[in-house]
Amino acid sequence: MSAAAHGLAAPPGGERTASKSQLAYEWLHEQIVAGALEPGARLVLSQVADKLDVSVVPVREAVRRLEAEGLVTFERNIGATVAGIDPTEYLYTMQTLSLVEGAATALSAPSITAEDIAAAREVNERMRVFLEPDPLHFDPVEFTALNREFHSVLFERCPNPHILDLVHRGWNRLKALRGSTFSYVPERATESIAEHEALLALIESGAPTAEIELAARRHRSATLDAYLAHTGENPGFPTL
């Protein structure tokens, strides 16, 4: 899993000798997105600095960058905490991702090659395997990873770097939040794989951009709806 391919902000001017602030940023980012740092966990600057064997200044800078991405909150004289305690954050993040990912997929569509389609289809088949035996062997983490890999093929060619960046941030945020609020709905997995196939067919057929955007958006919205129905909370969440 290459960092750049998943939206980890790299220092623009190459990486001669990674600056310590960049090191701290990447380490914290990894810890948070991988779930090693639970949502709500306290981040003490001096402790992080000691652990990475750097001073607090670069750590402070890294935390600020993570704050801008919504992965941590940072308050004056209070400190930094890993974001994501509030369950509605999950809803907002999903909704935002549904918006930007739909657009990114639509904008990518004209550039998607037959090889891309084949690769995506192969990933989708690997996801299907997870459904076979019985629900107990279902691995949400692995399944989600494959899901991201599938969708990456569909949106990675988005020509608008801003939109693409928003998609990456959304996925990362989602991974960070998952630890606390994620509640996977197994029934949804089956539907999801079928929708993936439909999405591929739609792109192959050269459907209009607007249609692809809507399909991709709905695909994610449906997951959100399933989550809402499953938990039974936030019944009045406004839909897009």
Partner DNA sequence: TATACGATGATCGTATACGATCCAGCCCGG
Partner DNA sequence: CCGGGCTGGATCGTATACGATCATCGTATA
Among a copy of itself, DNA, none, the one that 146 touches (CB under a kind-dependent 5 to 8 A) is none
By the rule CB under 8 A, 106 interacts with a copy of itself: yes
The Cα–Cα gap between 76 and 157 comes to: 40
By the rule CB under 8 A, 69 interacts with a copy of itself: yes
27-54: buried (b, 16+ CB within 10 Å) or exposed (e) per residue? Answer: bbbebbbebebebebebebeebbeebeb
Among 6, 8, 19, 40, binds a copy of itself (CB under 8 A): 19
Q: Which is nearer to DNA, 55 or 144 (CB)?
A: 55
Which range touches a copy of itself (CB under 8 A), out of 76-84, 126-134, 146-154, 183-191?
76-84
Contact, 75 vs 124, CB < 8 A?
no
By the rule CB under 8 A, 110 interacts with a copy of itself: yes
Residue with tokens 């990675």: 156
Q: Can you give the C-alpha Rg of the chain in angstroms?
A: 19
Q: How far is the CB of 215 from DNA (least distance, A)?
A: 43
Q: How far is the CB of 82 from DNA (least distance, A)?
A: 12
By the rule CB under 7 A, 68 interacts with DNA: no
User: In what helix (H) or strand (E) does residue 203 lie, and over which residues does it extend?
Assistant: helix 186-204
Listed residue (194, 188, 198, 190) closest to 221, CA to CA: 188
Tally the C-alpha atoms within 13 A of residue 131's C-alpha that lie toward its C-beta: 15
Q: CB-based burial of residue 205 (10 Å sphere; 0-12 exposed, 13-18 middle, 19+ buried)?
A: exposed
The Cα–Cα gap between 77 and 221 comes to: 39
Among 1, 4, 78, 114, binds DNA (CB under 7 A): 78
By the rule CB under 8 A, 134 interacts with a copy of itself: no
By the rule CB under 7 A, 3 interacts with DNA: no
By the rule CB under 8 A, 3 interacts with a copy of itself: no
The 15-34 site mask, x for binding DNA (CB under 7 A), equals -xx-xxxx------------
The Cα–Cα gap between 197 and 233 comes to: 30
Residues that bind DNA (CB under 7 A): 16-17, 19-22, 43-46, 49, 54-58, 60-61, 74, 76-80
Residues that bind a copy of itself (CB under 8 A): 11-13, 19, 57, 60-61, 64-65, 68-70, 73, 75-78, 92-93, 95-96, 99-100, 103, 106-107, 110, 159-163, 166, 209, 213, 238-240
